[in-house]
Structure 1
């Protein structure tokens, strides 16, 4: 116990927050007295129990419903129309096809919906529990009032003790939240300060780690999976937005590949065409890097202005490739910057269905610096986000 007190009294942020919670809870207990503090503690425990039950049921329910929902959506055969869509239609097709195709997103949405519904349903029990508590507590208060065995000072003292216990529960919740945060985002803001807290380390090591086991040790992997899923949804958004191909782009794509026969010849012809006609927009890149200003542009704008950054070139290539019957995707990740480092980048992968059926990488943005159509060692300069 002495080591816990010593850790708590060290002047560092986590310990100060916990100490403040304990002091405030103790003062509240003094003011409320025994009955009021007991009621607060009871409903704190009740809420924690309901949250735990809801989380467990929502997780199991999402795991059971996820495969069924995917099969249901696949059976609907939802295809994005190849026409210009309004904002709500874009949102709808992005959402429904992403839920169908991306497992983690589907599970997360089912889990969140299930948790909210369960918490709402269990909320109807709270008034009944409150009535039962008041009934029991009221009987005790009447008996205390008749016998006058408990003085006001004794009530406040008992309330303070209960308040301190409630504060300990609240402090534990705060440490648990910090533990989850540090586990899932080990490189996140303030994580170094949290890890530097001796009180946090003692609580995490002796109380939380034995309970969590190795589940949260896989936190960084889960975080990366969530980030990858988010990027998939973002890419799907672009696919939906870019589903409508303007007539001039379609005509240009068909003209570019008119002499090509194989899928590789078509993919190479489009690569050569974009690589020699779309100039890199250094002003757009500088505005984003130096001022954080990002200008979203459509493939039609890139085609008309003949200017764009890597994501613009990749999106235009994807639109033109799909127009001529190629299966293509936009890939995001890190590209070599020529100075020994890497920076955010985007390129394409195209599937050569009439060859071995495999996907090959290409980078039309870099075409002016060499041949970046499926060269050897492509992966050394392009690190795909997975």
Structure 2
């Protein structure tokens, strides 16, 4: 698979140089290559190569699906359409997605215990989080990113201080969006999640960013 991606990268580079004559960047093949490379991204060693392929095609990786952010899955696409129906601006659509996430996805306390005790823990994907209706901060961030990308809004997943959240591009600027904290909080004494909608986290997070994921 790595050899295939490397070959694609070389092809894209060559065609990219010819783009003034052949208009490669506007060609459908560039979309196909970018989408294919995007779908390979995940928690695997091929992700870095896939990102380079996407960059050469002049497409945004933050709009493309990946193995863990399945933004082209029919179920996610349909849900995104339903959530944003009637909304005209990207900010209105993003707010609608944020409100849906914070009211329909519950923090998984039992999963949190498992995460703390299992060093080989595997985080749920966007689609898995949707089907379960609950998850950890990573599940929130992956599903939130998938819904935004399915709507045509650029979305990143970032991390810091043992937490994951999103950055959403609205009006040409990246802003933090934390659906986990926006949905409620974890009561450690009672060992339970307390639903408590907070609109402030639509454009804010309490955490300090340390990096971002490439998927």
TM-score category, normalised to shorter length: 0.5 to 0.7
Sort the Cα spacing of 1:329 and 1:84 in 2 relative to 1 into closer, same or farther, 3 A: closer
Q: When the two structures are superposed, what TM-score results if normalisation uses the length of structure 1?
A: 0.38
1:309-353 deviation per Cα after TM superposition (whole angstroms, max 9, x unaligned)? 01111011111111111011111112xxxxxxxxx000011111x
* Equivalent residues of 2:149, 2:155 under 8 A apart: yes
Sort the Cα spacing of 1:73 and 1:286 in 2 relative to 1 into closer, same or farther, 3 A: farther
* Equivalent residues of 2:137, 2:163 under 8 A apart: yes
* Equivalent residues of 1:279, 1:306 under 8 A apart: yes
Sort the Cα spacing of 1:251 and 1:101 in 2 relative to 1 into closer, same or farther, 3 A: closer
* Equivalent residues of 1:287, 1:293 under 8 A apart: no
Aligned position for 1:296: 123
Structure 1 residue 366 corresponds to structure 2 residue 181:
yes
Aligned position for 1:273: 100
Shift of 1:97: 2.9
- Which SS does the other structure have where 1:79 is aligned? helix
Aligned position for 2:51: 98
Cα distance in 1 between the residues matched to 2:50 and 2:127: 24
Cα distance in 2 between the residues matched to 1:82 and 1:258: 30
1:260-306 deviation per Cα after TM superposition (whole angstroms, max 9, x unaligned)? 11111111100010111111111111112134351332211111110
* Equivalent residues of 2:129, 2:139 under 8 A apart: yes
Structure 1 residue 350 corresponds to structure 2 residue 180:
no
Cα distance in 1 between the residues matched to 2:37 and 2:140: 20
Query: Unaligned regions of 5+ residues in structure 2, if any?
Result: 1-9, 17-23, 25-29, 56-60, 185-197
Sort the Cα spacing of 1:351 and 1:250 in 2 relative to 1 into closer, same or farther, 3 A: same
Aligned position for 2:13: 72
The structure, 1 or 2, with the larger RCO (C-alpha pairs under 8 Å, 6+ apart) is 2
Equivalent runs, 1:126-275 vs 2, <5 Å: 239-241=65-67, 242-243=69-70, 245-275=72-102
Query: Whose Rg is larger?
Result: 1
1:72-116 deviation per Cα after TM superposition (whole angstroms, max 9, x unaligned)? 3892844023997699xx865x342334579xxxxxxxxxxxxxx
Aligned position for 2:188: none
Aligned position for 1:204: none
* Equivalent residues of 2:95, 2:202 under 8 A apart: yes
* Equivalent residues of 1:327, 1:351 under 8 A apart: yes
* Equivalent residues of 1:73, 1:100 under 8 A apart: no
Supply the RMSD in Å over aligned alpha carbons.
3.3
Q: When the two structures are superposed, what TM-score results if normalisation uses the length of structure 2?
A: 0.65
Cα distance in 2 between the residues matched to 1:331 and 1:253: 21
Q: 134, 145, 149: which one pairs with 1:322? A: 149
Cα distance in 2 between the residues matched to 1:269 and 1:314: 15
Sort the Cα spacing of 1:324 and 1:239 in 2 relative to 1 into closer, same or farther, 3 A: closer
